[in-house]
Amino acid sequence: MLAMVTVFLVGRVWKPKHVYREDGGEAPEPEREDFGSVVVAWSPFYILTGVILVWSIPQFKALFAPDGPLAWLVVNVPIPGITGVVVPDGASEPVSTVWAFTPGNATGTAIFIAVLISFFTTPQLKAKDLWEQLLATIHDLWQPIVLIALILVVANIANYSGGSASIGNALAGVGSIFPLFSPIIGWFGVFVTGSVVNNNTLFAQLQSVTAQKIGVDPTQLVAANTAGGTVAKLVSPQSIAIAAGAVGLIGRESEILRASIKMSLGMLAFICVWVFLLSLVVH
C-alpha cells in the first residue's frame, strides 16, 4: 500500500528520458491525473485491505466462537460416517469432523462487503455496472469455482481417510534430506491446480505429517509448500491463460511459458536450498 503511494509521488517529479516499449513501439503521451481521481481509482484496493484486516483480527473472530455473541451465525453440520470416528495419526481419541458453515466470518464475505462499500462510495459506478461485473465474473470463473470445490472434496477424503498421513509417513523414509524437496511438492501442486490455496489444501497435511516424523517444525514445511507453489504461479497454465487473455496475447501462452520457466525453476532451486539449510538449524 505504501509502495502505491510512493509510485504516485515519484511519478509527479520523475520524468524518464526513455520509456521502454516492447518491439520498439511508441510510448503514449502521459496523462496527468488529479489527486482526487487517483484516490477514487485506488480506493477499492484500500477498502478491501481494510475490511479483510478487520476480518482477520482475533477480536472479530472471537465474535463467532462457541461462546461469542455471533455464535448463532455458525451452522455446525455433522458428517455421517466419520463424525466421532476418525482418529488421526498419533492421536488417542477421535477428532471433531463437524463441518462448520460460517458465512459471517468467511473471507469471501469480507470481499463481498468491500465490493459493496466500493460501489456506494464511487459515484462513477452505476447499479448496471455492478450487475454486469457480477455476471461477467460468474461466467469467467465458474470453472475454477467447480475445480476448487472438487479439490476440497479430494483433500478432505485424503485427510480423513488417512491417505495424506500414509503418504507423509512414506516420504519420511528419506530422512532429514526431505526438506530439500519439500518445496517441489508445492510447485507441482500449483502447476497442476493453478492455485496456492488449492495446493495447500491438498498437500499441507502431507507436509505436516512428514515434518513431524523427521523432526522438523511442521510450520516450516507447510511454509515451504506455500513458497514452492508461489513461484509455480509463473508457469501455471491457468495463470498464463488468464494473463494472456488480459493483455490480448491469447494463443501465445507457450511463449510466455518459455520466457518464465527458467526464472520459476531458478527461484524454486533457491527456496529448496534455503528450506533445507533452515531445517538444519531450526527445530
Higher-confidence residue of 196 and 19: namely: 196
- Is pLDDT at 85 greater than 80 in this prediction? no
Do the beta carbons of residue 272 and residue 184 sit within 8 Å?
Answer: yes
| Domains in the chain: boundaries | 126-283
SS3 per-residue string spanning 50-88 = HHHHHHHCHHHHHCCCCCCCCHHHCEEECCCCCCCCCCC
Report the length, in residues, of the chain.
283
Residue 60, Cβ density class (10 Å: 0-12 exposed, 13-18 middle, ≥19 buried) = middle
- Is pLDDT at 171 greater than 80 in this prediction? no
Residue 74, Cβ density class (10 Å: 0-12 exposed, 13-18 middle, ≥19 buried) = middle
H helix runs in 121-236, sequence order: 127-160, 163-171, 182-193, 196-214, 218-232
For 188-210, the pLDDT digits (tens) are: 888 877 788 888 888 888 898 88
Higher-confidence residue of 16 and 50: namely: 50
Residues 117, 121, 124: CA angle, nearest 5 degrees:
125
For 236-248, the pLDDT digits (tens) are: 887 887 777 767 7
For 92-141, the pLDDT digits (tens) are: 666 667 778 888 888 889 999 999 999 998 888 888 988 998 898 888 77
19: amino acid identity, one letter: V
Section 266-281 average pLDDT: 93
- With H, G, I as helix, E, B as strand and everything else as coil, classify residue 36: helix
pTM: 0.62
Section 48-61 average pLDDT: 92
Question: What is the pLDDT, as a whole number, of residue 96?
Answer: 65
Question: What is the pLDDT, as a whole number, of residue 269?
Answer: 96
pLDDT class of 87 with cuts at 50, 70, 90: low
d(CA 83, CA 200): 23
How distant is the alpha carbon of residue 276 from its chain centre? 24
d(CA 152, CA 213): 25
Question: What is the pLDDT, as a whole number, of residue 283?
Answer: 65
Sign of CA dihedral 247, 3, 119, 57: positive
Task: Give residues with Cβ within 8 angstroms of 190, minimum separation 6.
Answer: 196, 198, 199, 228, 229, 230, 232, 233, 236
- Is pLDDT at 218 greater than 80 in this prediction? yes
Q: In the numeric block, which cell numbers belong to residue 32? A: 496527468
Backbone angles phi, psi at 258, to 5 degrees: -65, -30
CA-to-CA separations, 77 to 66, 100, 102, 154, 168, in angstroms, rounded:
14, 6, 11, 19, 29
